[in-house]
Amino acid sequence: MNHKFSILLAGAALLSSCSPVQESMDELADRVFSIAAEQIKATDARLGETELPRTTGKDGEAVNSDYRWWCSGFFPGSAWYAYEYTGDANLKDIALKNTLKLAGIPDNVDSHDIGFMIWCSYGNALRLTGDTSLLETIHASADKLCTRYRPGAGIIQSWNARLGKDWICPVIIDNMMNLELLMECSKLFEEPCYAEISVSHADVTMGNHFRKDNSSYHVLDYNPENGEIRHRHTEQGLADESAWARGQAWGLYGYTMMYRECGKDEYLAQAEKIADYIIPRLPEDGVCFWDFNVPEIRLGQYEMVKRDASAAAIVASALTELASYVEDAIKSEGYLAVAEKIVRTLASDEYLAKAGENNGFILKHGVGHYRNDSEVDVPLTYADYYFLEAVIRLKESME
C-alpha cells in the first residue's frame, strides 16, 4: 500500500469513528418551532370556544380545561412564542383568540396563579402587539392578585383554606412566579404598591422558605396577622423535607426574574444559590427527576424514577437568563452549558413529540402531582411554554 493511500484510509477511519456533527442551536430552534407550530395549530383546531389544552389522561385522550385552571395562560403563551419565532400570521390569530379566552379572570378567578395565567397570555400579547386594549384586563388582574396580599405577614396567600388541611395562610414557592405580573404592572400603570407587595413577598419567602442547603420547602403556612410560621410541609413533593424538583425550578426562575425586575443583589445571590443546589443533582442528560430526594436516585436505580420535563424546561430557561447577569464568566458559561444540555435532551426524540402525535402537545414526560397519581409522565402545557422560551433565550444568548 502506498504512503498516500494509507494516510487517506487512516483519515477515513478517523472520520467514521467521530460522532456526527452536532446540530447548531439555530438548526435546533428551527426544528423545534416547526414542530411546535404544527402542534399548536392542531391543538387549536380541536378546541371548543372556551376550551384550553391541559394534558393527556390515563386513557390516552387529550384533557382540556377552561380559563379558570391555573395553567390556562400557557397554551396562548406558547402560541405567542411560536408566532414570535416564525412570524406566521395564523399563529398570531391562534395566540390572540386563545388569550382572549382568559378575559373573565379578573371577575371570576381568585387565585395566586393569576400571575401565571395573565402574564404568559396577555403579557406576551402586549409585548408582541402593543395592543392597548389588552391593558384593562391586565390591570384588573393585578388588582385582583393584590387582594391576596396579607400585610401582617408581608406575603401573598397562595391557596385558600381547604377541608382536611390545617392551613390558615399557605404560601407555596411557586408563588414567586406570580410576582412578574405585579412588577411589570407597577411600571405599566405607575402603581408602586404592586412592586412593594412583590418585593415584600420575595423578601419574606427568601427568609423563610429555604433550608441551609439552599433547597426550598414547598408549602409554608403563615399566621397572616403576624407572619409566624405555623408549619412547613409539601403537597407535591416526596416528603416535607425533600426538594420537589419543580419547586426548586420555580424558585430559581422567580429570583432570577425578580433580580431582572428590581436589580436587588440579594435576589441574584439567591438565584445563584438555588442554581448551585440544582446543578450538581441533575442526571447526566440534564433532565431532573421529579423530586431530588427519591431514594432510588441514591441507589443508582435511575430508570425507576420519573423525570419531569416541566421542571427541566423551567430550569433551562431560568439558567439562560441567570447566565446573562452573573459577572463571573466561568460561572456564567457553566450555567449556559447546563441550559444547553437540558434543551438538547428535551429536543431529542425521547422528549420532543413528532408532529401529529402526543395529542398536539410539544413535550412528553412531565410530572404534575406524583403523590396524587395525577398527571404523571404526561405532556404539560407549562413544560411546552418554558421549553419554547428556553430555546428562544438560548439561541439569542449565542448570537
- Chain residues binding ligand GLY by CB under 6 A are 174, 236, 246, 368
Annotated catalytic residue 26: no
- Reduced to 3 states (helix: H, G, I; strand: E, B; else coil), residue 344 is helix
Which one from 30, 143, 174, 377 is the annotated catalytic residue? Answer: 174
| CB burial string 312-332: b at 16+ within 10 A, e below | bbbbbbbbbbbbebbeeeeeb
Could you tell me how many residues make up the chain? Answer: 399
Of 368 and 379, which CB lies nearer to ligand GLY in the complex structure?
368
What is the closest distance, in whole angstroms, from the C-beta atom of residue 55 to ligand GLY in the complex? 12
Whichever of 137 and 236 has its CB closer to ligand GLY, that residue is 236
- CB of residue 380 to ligand GLY, shortest distance in Å: 9
CA 392, CA 375: separation in Å to the nearest integer? Answer: 27
Q: How far is the CB of 188 from ligand GLY (least distance, A)?
A: 24
Grid coordinates given for 321: 437568563
C-beta closer to ligand GLY: residue 29 or 367: 367
Please say which residue, 174 or 321, places its beta carbon nearer to ligand GLY.
Answer: 174
Those residues whose C-beta lies under 8 Å from the C-beta of residue 280, and which sit 6 or more positions away, are none
Concerning whether 110 is annotated as a catalytic residue, the answer is: no
Question: What's the closest the beta carbon of residue 202 comes to ligand GLY, in angstroms?
Answer: 17
| Closest approach of ligand GLY to the CB of residue 368, in Å | 6
> Which of residues 340 and 384 has its CB atom nearest to ligand GLY in the complex?
384
Q: Within 10 A of 20 (CB to CB), how many other CB atoms are there?
A: 5
Q: Is the dihedral of CA 371, 120, 307, 246 positive or negative?
A: negative
Please identify which of the residues 113, 221, 308, 384 carries the catalytic annotation. 113
CA dihedral 341, 347, 352, 355 (to 10 degrees): 170
- Please name the residues in contact with 399: beta carbons below 8 A apart, sequence gap of 6 or more: none
Q: Which residue numbers are catalytic?
A: 113, 174
